[in-house]
Amino acid sequence: MRGAIQAVSLLCALALLGAVAALAQEKAAPPPAGGPPNYLPGSGYNPRKGSSRAAHGFQGPSWDTGTFPHHLVLQDFNGDGIPDLAVSNAGGRSMTVLLGDGKGGFSAPVHYDCGQGPSWLEAADLDGDGHPDLVTANTGAASLTIYFGDGKGNFGRRQELPDILSPSSMIAVDLNGDKLPDLVVAQPGQSRIQAVFNRGSGRMEPGPAYDVSAAPHIIDYADVDGDGRPEVIVGSLVTGMLHVFHANADGTLRAGKPLQVGKNPHYRAYGDFNGDGKLDLAVTVAGDGGAEVYLGDGKGDFTRSAVLPTGISPHGIASGDFNGDGKLDLAAVNRISKDLVVFLGDGKGAFTAGQRLPIGEDVIAVAARHLNRDAALDLILISASTNRVLLLKGDGKGRFAAPGRRV
């Protein structure tokens, strides 16, 4: 277990620094051979002092977060039809909420206190009042913090759920078909995932845990076998396995066939990349400096169709049709080479390298959305070296730039 904790703390989330401290003050190990460290000297990020804005980083619209933003969600919090943004700040004890203005910008950031080291957050209507709520997974505090939204963009009432060990990543998904979103948490310190059931009105109750291989990190869900029920998928940083779990009618999970991918898998993007109506996936493999594309057979099996060189230490990845040809494309961000790279899909499962845009910052996550009124998808990035949200506007032809700058 010690090895797993150390590996996670180095390979992925500075977020897990808090967890490491909490878990008997495990001593930090040197970077593993062949694996990328989380941060490099000169990267601008100092886990002890927080970070400072890089002199030559991203020049464009940005919004401040708390220390070490690690994950973002986009959802409409105030019901105006425009996506809003929430970010978990893993280096401290806060989350940041920004309301979209529909012109590609956001309101002034509002910061909310939560438990120590929130490496993750999710948005879901947990209490069933029709308004999205926010949950942070507090790695250092071994807890979840729930904020109930008022539908106007404010998050007032707060509830703590203690004794959720080392939560590093989390999804909100209805496991048992009662239409109430439940939670599933990845627990790298325990090498397992744990369900947290929604018993109504936002009352959350810890459920069973399921073993996975060492250092599970990013968890999400997708209906990979096409039966209309979600599969829960979690990637192991150490083994490179994507563990797939099928949900039973009562909300318990059963392990399906795992998928072996490359080294240190991080974020995934889902979509039908070859147009056969079956869900496919792309995953960043940080230790290999790439992203891998797997085509689904609609029954839960996947075959690798592409290995895409992204850059050094890719984490975030997003899919969308960036050039308007009706075929899904990919964008990935690299933490150590500090850039964004776009791959254009051919609609058959292959991709060609497109734009490579230097950002000059430790960009850790990315999401693709329509943030203004044009037809082109835009990108939101979070920078862990300057603690801010960055905006890149799409030109609809597959390229991105800071607004006001040439694409």
Instruction: Candidates 45-53, 209-217, 271-279, 383-391: pick the segment binding Ca ion (CB under 5 A).
Output: 271-279
Q: SS in 3 state form for the chain?
A: CHHHHHHHHHHCCCCHHHHHHHCCCCCCCCCCCCCCCCCCCCCCEECCCEECCCCCCCCCCEEECCCCEEEEEEECCCCCCCCEEEEEECCCCEEEEECECCCCCECCCEEEECCCCEEEEEEECCCCCCCCEEEEEECCCCEEEEEEECCCCCEEEEEEEECCCCCCEEEEECCCCCCCCEEEEEECCCCEEEEEEECCCCCEEEEEEEECCCCEEEEEEECCCCCCCCEEEEEECCCCEEEEEEECCCCCEEECCCEECCCCEEEEEEECCCCCCCCEEEEEEHHHCEEEEEEECCCCCEEEEEEEECCCCEEEEEEECCCCCCCCEEEEEECCCCEEEEEEECCCCCEEEEEEEECCCCEEEEEEECCCCCCCCEEEEEECCCCEEEEEEECCCCCEECCCCCC
Residue 124 Cβ vs Ca ion, minimum distance, rounded to whole Å: 8
Q: How many whole angstroms from its chain centre is CA 39? A: 18
Residue 63 Cβ vs Ca ion, minimum distance, rounded to whole Å: 15
Q: Residues 59-88: x/- map of binding to Ca ion (CB under 5 A)?
A: -----------------x-x-x-x-x----
Instruction: Candidates 26-34, 56-64, 105-113, 277-285: pick the segment binding Ca ion (CB under 5 A).
Output: 277-285
Site for Ca ion contains 297 (CB under 5 A):
no
Residue 400 Cβ vs Ca ion, minimum distance, rounded to whole Å: 13
Q: Which of 70, 71, 93, 131 binds Ca ion (CB under 5 A)?
A: 131
Site for Ca ion contains 135 (CB under 5 A):
no
Residue 398 Cβ vs Ca ion, minimum distance, rounded to whole Å: 7
Q: Which of 64, 272, 297, 346 binds Ca ion (CB under 5 A)?
A: 272
| Residue among 3 and 200 whose Cβ is closer to Ca ion | 200
| Residue among 75 and 176 whose Cβ is closer to Ca ion | 75
Site for Ca ion contains 293 (CB under 5 A):
no
Q: How many whole angstroms from its chain centre is CA 400? A: 21
111 HSE (CA, 13 A, CB side): 16
Residue 25 Cβ vs Ca ion, minimum distance, rounded to whole Å: 37
| Residue among 380 and 384 whose Cβ is closer to Ca ion | 380
Site for Ca ion contains 301 (CB under 5 A):
no
Site for Ca ion contains 150 (CB under 5 A):
no
| Residue among 372 and 386 whose Cβ is closer to Ca ion | 372
| Residue among 92 and 394 whose Cβ is closer to Ca ion | 394
Residues numbered 181 to 200 that lie near Ca ion (CB under 5 A) are none
Site for Ca ion contains 304 (CB under 5 A):
no
Number of residues that bind Ca ion (CB under 5 A): 20
Residue 285 Cβ vs Ca ion, minimum distance, rounded to whole Å: 20
Residues numbered 320 to 359 that lie near Ca ion (CB under 5 A) are 321, 323, 325, 327, 329
Instruction: Candidates 40-48, 257-265, 280-288, 370-378: pick the segment binding Ca ion (CB under 5 A).
Output: 280-288
What's the rounded Cα separation, in Å, for the pair 249 and 271? 25
Q: Which of 68, 104, 106, 127 binds Ca ion (CB under 5 A)?
A: 127
Binding positions for Ca ion, rule: CB under 5 A: 76, 78, 80, 82, 84, 125, 127, 129, 131, 133, 272, 274, 276, 278, 280, 321, 323, 325, 327, 329
